[in-house]
Each structure stands twice: as structure tokens, then as C-alpha cells.
Amino acid sequence: MISTRQLAYRYADGPALQFEDIDVAQGGVLLLCGASGSGKSTWLALAAGLLGPGAGDMTVAGQSLQALGKVAGDAWRAKTIGFLPQKLHLSAALTVHDNLAMAQWAARQAQDEQRIAEALTALGVQDLARRKPAQLSGGQAQRVALARAVLLRPQVILADEPTASLDDAAAQAAVKLLQATARHQGATLVMATHDARVADCLDSQMGFQFLYIGSNQR
């Protein structure tokens, strides 16, 4: 489902990053671990096709990212990737409901009220549909952002530092929710984190893989 071979990326005015090879099966869970600045967010951006392809090979959901152009990449990402960014990027001017409707519109989908209600209900935030993001707690805002990320039933869910700035209880809830949501959808889940609590929060009944990043930076 996700595999990389000799994946590397160099920012124009930044470090050259190298990533160890990894293979993640459909429905698998991958924890990207490493210190701050090691390249976790870069790996996620590559997997989402948000950064131009690096060196080496990266295949996500059967698509070689090296072969994907910018325009084709936007359509591919909309239907394949659910991204939960570190900064949630909910539109402050829009209600929770309209944030999700906007995501359908941005993906050139017809507005689907039933699916919006379903996604909000799945994340337990259906009663917050008419609120604006400023009227949500941090945990609620994250649930709304996750509802938006899975709205189009992506095959891959990418979450960047999903426990940052959450207390222990909320961090555990966030990780369990991500895992349950991915399992429910049959999606592959990648979580990037420098938070040692995340591994402890994962349901140990389910297998997961680690990829340590940062030991081979030059």
C-alpha cells in the first residue's frame, strides 16, 4: 500500500534528508518517529504528493509519486489521502458543517449532506455542526478536522503530530480515535510524532510498524 525505496529529499536551502525503506500493507499502521526537525513532516508531505517527488521511489495506493504531475496529483490526493495536519487549518469564518461541505466542493464532489452527517457522527461531533472553529475546544477541533480528513473515504490517513499540545487523556483519546477510524474504513494510517506517549496509546492487539527518521541525515 505504501512502499519507499531509497527515498530522499533535499530542500533548496535546507538539509538533505534520507529515509529508510519501508513497506506498509493495506490497513497497516505506521508510526514515523524521530526528533523535531528530523524530517517526519517532510515524509508525510511526500506521501501526500504535496511536495514534489524526492529522489528514489515512493508508491502510495498503487500510484508511483514520481510519475504524478502537479495537476494529476491534486485529484489523486483528494480521493486517496486524508490529511490531519498539525495546524488543523479549519476555516475560521465557516461553521463545522460548512468546513466539511467546502472540502467536498474543493474535491469537485457534489455536496452530500448524508455523508457530512455520517462523518460528523462517526467522530462524535454531530452536535457541533453549527459552531465556528473558535467555539470548539482543542480536542473537538481535532475531531472535526479528522471528520473532514476522512470525509471522502481516503485509503490513506496521514496525521502529523496528532497529540501535540494535548494532555495525557486527550492524547490517548486522539490516538485511539485515529486507529479506530482507520480500522473502520480499512485505511492505512501513518502518524508522525516525536511524542513517546503515542506508541503506548496504540491498541496493542493490532500490529503496527515503526520507522525511525533522522539517524542518516547528512
Q: Which chain residues interact with ligand ADP by CB under 6 A?
A: 11, 13-15, 34, 36-42
Stretch that binds Mg ion, among 37-45, 90-98, 103-111, 196-204 (CB under 5 A): 37-45
Q: Which is nearer to ligand ADP, 94 or 164 (CB)?
A: 164
Q: Which is nearer to ligand ADP, 83 or 101 (CB)?
A: 83
Q: Which is nearer to ligand ADP, 152 or 156 (CB)?
A: 156
In degrees and rounded to multiples of 5, residue 205 shows phi and psi of: -70, -25
Stretch that binds Mg ion, among 16-24, 38-46, 113-121, 209-217 (CB under 5 A): 38-46
Region class of 69: left (phi > 0), else alpha (psi between -120 and 50), else beta: beta
CA distance 191 to 160: 6
Beta carbons within 10 angstroms of residue 22's beta carbon: 18
Q: Which does 204 bind (CB under 5 to 8 A by kind): Mg ion, ligand ADP, none?
A: none
- Asked if 41 touches Mg ion (CB under 5 A), the answer is yes
Sign of CA dihedral 156, 153, 76, 25: positive
CA distance 193 to 95: 29
Q: Which is nearer to ligand ADP, 208 or 212 (CB)?
A: 212
Q: Which does 99 bind (CB under 5 to 8 A by kind): ligand ADP, Mg ion, none?
A: none
Q: Which is nearer to ligand ADP, 60 or 136 (CB)?
A: 60
Q: Which does 53 bind (CB under 5 to 8 A by kind): Mg ion, ligand ADP, none?
A: none
Residue number of the CB atom closest to ligand ADP: 14
Answer yes or no: are the C-beta atoms of 216 and 35 closer than 8 Å.
Answer: no
Beta carbons within 10 angstroms of residue 132's beta carbon: 16
Answer yes or no: are the C-beta atoms of 180 and 1 closer than 8 Å.
Answer: no
Contact positions vs Mg ion (CB under 5 A): 40-41
